[in-house]
Structure 1
Amino acid sequence: MVKMLCDPVCPPPNLSQHPCCTVKCWKWDVNQITMNNLVKYGILILNRPITQNSGFIKNLWNRATIRMTVDGGTRQWDKFISGLSNEMQTTIKDPDLISGDFDSITDEILEKYKAKGCKVIHTPDQDRTDFTKAIMELNTHRKQTGLELSHIIAVAQTSGRFDQIVGNIQTLFLVKEELLLDPNTNVFLISDDSITWLLMPGDHVIYIPEETRQHKRAWCSLVPVGETCKYCTTTGLKWNLDNQSLRFGGIVSTSNTFDGSEKVTVKCSHTLMWSMRLPTIAIS
């Protein structure tokens, strides 16, 4: 049994900086998210409608070590809460941190959460997205308070403005390239019914929830972002790759699915973006 969502044998942020370090394997247990068994994690709400199963979001939020809403994400969170039953509203926790340049939120909403005791952090820098700045502020808070965070879950969307979707992917890369978090902290994007994260160069074992494997519309993808992946070999997919190069203008493994195996293995020479459907988090 895998004890952690990600169990890295050796997870350097950049292999070229660690020539003596060989990555043997990362193990990813997605069941820990779908079953709300995560520990030592933070959650961020970005500025997109929260469309997932309300019970799943509530549990994911309340069990987090640190809770944060990002700019217009505070407005989205307030709207989400207002749609819950009175009983659920009384048991849901307030954000610990609210950050952003605040161009997507009203003063009324900000004052409402200030009155609740939430810490508000203004991040006006326009050279970075609100998501990236939120990660940086979260890391500062982590250092100041001594929090241990193994995972960061960002509730976002893969619909709407394409430039914002690309900006979210850029943040995933900046976390690793600029060491915006502890190298052992991994960042995941959760959308309507899917999850996305980066697979760094090396070997990966991804444990696939049974409900995902058996879903009639199951899907997954391996996408090279920013550079060519010179070789990629997989098992557990319907259309496996065998020492295949992945690049835009060549082959990109989108709209793939599973062969029914409990796990998928990926061996990649360069960073890939992995996405997969999680039907249990969607509104039933």
Structure 2
Amino acid sequence: MATAEEDVFYSATASANESTDTEGDGPEPRKRLRPLSCLEPGVKISLALIVLNQPLQHQYPHLIQLWNRGVIRAATDGASNHLHEIMMNKSNSNFVPDLLTGDFDSAKPEVLQFMKEKGAKLVETLDQNFTDFTKCLQIVDRTIEHNKLHVDCLVALGAFGGRFDHMMSIINTLFDITKTVKYPVYLIGDDNIACLLRPGNYAIEVDTGLEEGWCSLIPIGGKCKHITTTGLKYNLENQGMQFGALISTSNYLKDDAKEVTVTTDSPVLWAMGIKRLKLKEK
């Protein structure tokens, strides 16, 4: 599989890779997440990457780092246009995905032909009851299972920005797919990262040096009756959240926080900022 030739420079300290489950203080196991391990320098991580249909020029440092760590790389329909544009503008780059999926109503015919000739497998998905992202994620998950690939997490790049209804459909996909996949699914775009926390106990590691500082917990799927947190500037203590009342937006990580703990009885969306990254000068 192709590897982008440029490296990414971070002014951050390397630390451990994303871990899986571990025991917390309570009777239930606490799931330990390290969302920014996918971009963290100096760690060994294997991820599945899905590139969505958003401009990629301002996300180029993220794209390089994620692409180089991908054991399987996929793109949805119109995302092929953006990958092709980068390859035409940067002669030393190779961003041909392993899988290119969708109904292909957005991809340019000449781009599809180019990607096919370069080795991408085109998978046409015509079912209009699911979004391109949902269908691509399902295909990637089946490919991971079929080929017995080791994947620490799946990252969807280009998840934010553009049409509001598209962003909401992407978040809705999290509610569906995270019921079955065996790895964390993270959404990245416009210097944001987000993931869905299903009911349970979590420890979210926030000491990679890439965290911007702000964070949010949003009861996007319905009312959350009880949620408790530590590690935040404005912690929640067995409180409820719902739209039309309290939601925890514009919160912040404590200055000395290495992790944030969350105990919730309902699905909530965790989101936080990513520091702007710079390409290493050559």
Q: Give the deviation of 1:212 after TM superposition.
A: 4.8
In 2, the alpha carbon distance for the partners of 1:51 and 1:233 equals 39
Task: Letter of the 1:77 partner, please give it.
Answer: L
Cα distance, 1:147–1:93 mapped onto 2, change above 3 Å: same
Task: Letter of the 1:128 partner, please give it.
Answer: F
* Corresponding position of 2:151: 149
Give yes or no for contact 2:221–2:268 (8 Å, CA) kept in 1. no
In 2, the alpha carbon distance for the partners of 1:157 and 1:30 equals 15
Q: Deviations over 1:226-246 (max 9, x none)?
A: 221111111111111111101
> Larger helix proportion, structure 1 or 2?
1
Q: Give the deviation of 1:112 after TM superposition.
A: 0.4
In 2, the alpha carbon distance for the partners of 1:246 and 1:282 equals 37
Q: Deviations over 1:122-169 (max 9, x none)?
A: 000000000000011112222332223231100024222111000000
Give yes or no for contact 1:101–1:123 (8 Å, CA) kept in 2. yes
Task: Letter of the 1:32 partner, please give it.
Answer: S
Matched, 1:195 2:208: no
In 2, the alpha carbon distance for the partners of 1:200 and 1:277 equals 21
Q: Give the deviation of 1:115 after TM superposition.
A: 0.4
Q: How do residues 169-188 of structure 1 correspond to structure 2 at under 5 angstroms?
A: 169-177=171-179, 179=180, 181=181, 184-188=182-186
The alignment partner of 2:54 has SS state of: coil
Cα distance, 1:250–1:154 mapped onto 2, change above 3 Å: same
> Larger strand proportion, structure 1 or 2?
2
Matched, 1:208 2:225: no
1:228 aligned residue (223, 230, 242): 223
Task: Letter of the 1:43 partner, please give it.
Answer: L
In 2, the alpha carbon distance for the partners of 1:43 and 1:74 equals 14
Give yes or no for contact 2:38–2:47 (8 Å, CA) kept in 1. no
The alignment partner of 1:256 has SS state of: strand
Give yes or no for contact 2:230–2:260 (8 Å, CA) kept in 1. yes
2:46 aligned residue (25, 40, 43): 40
* Corresponding position of 2:5: none
Cα distance, 1:256–1:233 mapped onto 2, change above 3 Å: same
The alignment partner of 2:21 has SS state of: coil
* Corresponding position of 1:15: none
Deviates more, 1:199-208 or 1:22-31: 22-31
Give yes or no for contact 2:46–2:69 (8 Å, CA) kept in 1. no
Structure 2 residues not aligned, in runs of 5+? 1-13
2:35 aligned residue (26, 30, 34): 30
Q: TM-score, normalised by structure 1?
A: 0.84
Cα distance, 1:54–1:159 mapped onto 2, change above 3 Å: closer
Q: Give the deviation of 1:265 after TM superposition.
A: 1.2
2:108 aligned residue (102, 106, 109): 106
Cα distance, 1:6–1:246 mapped onto 2, change above 3 Å: farther
Give yes or no for contact 1:52–1:193 (8 Å, CA) kept in 2. no
* Corresponding position of 1:5: 18
Percent identity for Structure 1 against Structure 2: 32
Cα distance, 1:252–1:152 mapped onto 2, change above 3 Å: same
Structure 1 residues not aligned, in runs of 5+? 11-21
* Corresponding position of 1:74: 80
Task: Letter of the 1:257 partner, please give it.
Answer: Y
Number of residue pairs aligned between Structure 1 and Structure 2: 262
* Corresponding position of 2:89: 83
* Corresponding position of 2:260: 264
Matched, 1:120 2:133: no
* Corresponding position of 1:275: 271
Cα distance, 1:194–1:283 mapped onto 2, change above 3 Å: farther
The alignment partner of 1:239 has SS state of: coil
Q: Give the deviation of 1:93 after TM superposition.
A: 4.9
In 1, the alpha carbon distance for the partners of 2:44 and 2:192 equals 17
In 2, the alpha carbon distance for the partners of 1:282 and 1:148 equals 29
RMSD: 2.3
* Corresponding position of 1:136: 138
Give yes or no for contact 2:161–2:190 (8 Å, CA) kept in 1. no
Task: Letter of the 1:207 partner, please give it.
Answer: E
